[in-house]
Structure 1
Amino acid sequence: MTQFNHVQTAHCESGVISNIFRHYGLQISEPMAFGIGAGIFFGHLPFVKVNGVPGTTYRIWPGAIFSRVCKRLGVKMESRKFSSPAKARQALEEVIAKGIPVGMQSSVYYLPYFPASYRFHFNAHNLVVFGKENGHYLVSDPIMDTVTQIDPESLEQARFAKGFPEPKGKMYYPVSVPGQVDFTGPIREGIKQACHYMLKIPVPFFGVKGIRFLARRVKDYPTKEGDRRAALYLGNIIRMQEEIGTGGAGFRFMYAAFLREAGALLGSQELKDLGTELTAVGDLWRNFAFAAGRVCKARSADNVSYAELANMLLHIADEEEKVFRRLSKVKF
């Protein structure tokens, strides 16, 4: 059996990066992977419906963190998708037979080791398969506390789930990993890219502009959508923030941890201080989720409550803008 050191992490994509890279001797924490990959983001797309409600995201799109980290650290990856489950299974068997841990994209809905209440149609969950025993694949799922197993049929369903984004059996694994890396350049590139995405995208749906855009829409939900749909839309914002992967506040906490780690590594007190400030922003997101949850449960909440939620979002946008504008000017 392949030995694989499983470490539980907060988020699947950055967790898989950290666990796989450490397997090959490249020591990198989950927050460092998230920061170098410029994972922090915000987007609200009212015209992109997810299960009938507008989509909200608090992180960059799936796969971007991995590709950016690999490029910036000089890791060469083999990545494949497949036209049929049979071909995907054969390829997986061949790679793990060589003792190579394999990352893959899957649907949470078909992972039987998740509690039923956590299994929903989310097709961008990352995990690692690192061997096979008694006909079951050995799985390091970064959000689980220990390694687990999955039967071939369930894994096949998870790898070929329908819906957006279709995994299409995607699997990936390193073919070349440097033993030593100077993190200074990758940290600088990751911070520069994160600041650009949070501050400079010239459309209103993304970054701090996107948070303000969402605030305006939340304020008008009851009058434009009616009480029932307003509560549905608001509930999805909370769900995307608190239940999908690491969530909005969680991503802020993780990026804050990256800034503190980067500050310690590079001797920058300013980066450490900004990490502390972003942690406070994460607390504001958590407060918003708590207040929004109370409005959803009330059902009959009037427009004043939604207006208060909108003001909370505007305050969050102001605070995030302060952090990223200062971060964009840090010299190291």
Structure 2
Amino acid sequence: MSNNIEGFVPFQGEHCETTTIGNLLQFAGVRLSEPMLFGLGQGLGFIYWDSKQMDFPFIGGRVKPDELTACLVSRLNLTIRMQESSSVEKAWQNVRSYIELGVPVGLKLDSYYLDYFTNKVHFAAHYAVIYGADAEYAYMADTRQQGGLVKTSLTHLAMARNAKGPMSSRNRSFTIEPVGTLPPLIPAIRSSIAENARNYLNPPIRNIGNKGIIKMSHEVLKWPSRSKDLEKDLCLTALLMERAGTGGALFRNLYRDFLKECVDLFGDSKVEQAYWLFTEIAPMWVSVSSLIDHTGRTGNHQELNLVSELLLEIADKERVAMELLLTV
């Protein structure tokens, strides 16, 4: 099968899940910006995730993988077809049949195995789109940072799809049906904003949402005793927070841009106030990651006190912003 989908134009994005959905939606006839997809998907969140099995805590700035897509699909009344299989052969048939029909397919993968990833870290919740294949290679559309249109060997693709471990799915693939008419956008946006704020402010456990940021502010002070290789752990944490497909500032840039688009679309004083708060919050997250990186490089643990204080300030500002958005 050496057929690539004709006229496939990649969606340019920063974050893997929204880029993948952007690609599928664009093909189905819907054009929305990446910040809009992130906002409609109720993407903004926070998690401080630590367990005995982990070398070092994981810090995330968004809702759980797959949730963003599920929210977006339900808000826009889209039909998504999801397939999973424990058989590598069956999983490939699932994808191949769609490509032969000229339909691009979203995949969930462990990015560690993909040929075009230079940073080899196991992460089983990476998303990309396949739009063609030949006897040897799969032709993929990924984020701007990963090179946009890229290719990987079919062998490695099969390994990436079949990977086990945290956040993995069994060879998951998905397509979006061509769209007739979308529901009115502004009511959908308002519901998404309020629901995202509600979830962020009332997390089910203490290490998520606004409470999670407060928890992190206490936990960073224990990091030197928690780590076996502090320089490596801190520098990697900072890199993941700022660069790992987050669109920068731990997804706060994307959310800020989403709120700006909302202000332009339907002007609302509360949304506007929240937008201005996020223009202050985003660079504060950049400061947090650069201070963490700097601590790793210099070994000056005192800087973690600054990180801790900054996080409390951020938590406070984000709480105010999200309380404004609760009633939009």
Same fold (TM over 0.5): yes
Contact 2:238/2:293, CA 8 A, preserved across alignment: yes
Q: Give 1:182's aligned residue.
A: 184
Which sits farther off after the overlay, 231-240 or 136-145? 231-240
- Measure how far apart 1:268 and its partner are: 2.5
Are 2:66 and 1:63 equivalent residues in the alignment?
yes
Q: Where do residues 1-332 of structure 1 align in structure 2 (5 Å cutoff)?
A: 1-2=4-5, 3-47=7-51, 49-50=53-54, 52-114=55-117, 116=118, 118-133=119-134, 135-143=136-144, 144-201=146-203, 203-222=205-224, 224-225=225-226, 228=228, 234-246=234-246, 249-299=249-299, 301-302=300-301, 304-330=302-328
Distance 2:274 2:288 in 1: 21
Deviations 1:102-133 (A, max 9, x none): 0010111111122x3x2311111111111224
- Measure how far apart 1:230 and its partner are: 5.4
In structure 2, relative to structure 1, the CA distance for the partners of 1:322 and 1:231 (3 Å cut) is: farther
- Measure how far apart 1:283 and its partner are: 0.2
Contact 2:109/2:126, CA 8 A, preserved across alignment: yes
Contact 1:48/1:54, CA 8 A, preserved across alignment: no
- Unpaired runs of at least 5, structure 1: none
- Measure how far apart 1:262 and its partner are: 1.5
Distance 1:233 1:199 in 2: 29
Distance 1:48 1:13 in 2: 28
- Unpaired runs of at least 5, structure 2: none
Which sits farther off after the overlay, 310-319 or 233-242? 233-242
Question: Runs in 1 of length 4+ with deviation above 6 angstroms?
Answer: none
Deviations 1:240-295 (A, max 9, x none): 31243216614101011111112211233542442232022110010111112111
Which sits farther off after the overlay, 173-182 or 277-286? 173-182
TM-score (normalised: structure 1): 0.90
Contact 2:109/2:163, CA 8 A, preserved across alignment: yes
- Measure how far apart 1:214 and its partner are: 0.7
In structure 2, relative to structure 1, the CA distance for the partners of 1:82 and 1:67 (3 Å cut) is: same
Distance 1:166 1:216 in 2: 30
In structure 2, relative to structure 1, the CA distance for the partners of 1:197 and 1:232 (3 Å cut) is: farther
Distance 1:237 1:318 in 2: 23
Amino acid at match of 2:96: E
Amino acid at match of 1:246: T
Q: Alignment partner of 1:47: what SS? A: coil
Q: Percent identity?
A: 27
Q: Alignment partner of 2:169: what SS? A: coil
Distance 1:251 1:186 in 2: 21
In structure 2, relative to structure 1, the CA distance for the partners of 1:312 and 1:200 (3 Å cut) is: same
Contact 2:48/2:208, CA 8 A, preserved across alignment: yes
Amino acid at match of 1:191: I
Distance 1:10 1:312 in 2: 26
Amino acid at match of 1:159: R
Distance 1:202 1:125 in 2: 25
Deviations 1:213-250 (A, max 9, x none): 1111112334x547x55556544542431243216614
Q: Alignment partner of 1:26: what SS? A: coil
Which sits farther off after the overlay, 100-109 or 272-281? 272-281
Amino acid at match of 2:64: W
Amino acid at match of 1:268: D
Contact 2:46/2:62, CA 8 A, preserved across alignment: yes
Distance 1:98 1:193 in 2: 37
Contact 1:53/1:233, CA 8 A, preserved across alignment: yes
In structure 2, relative to structure 1, the CA distance for the partners of 1:98 and 1:282 (3 Å cut) is: same
Contact 2:28/2:177, CA 8 A, preserved across alignment: no
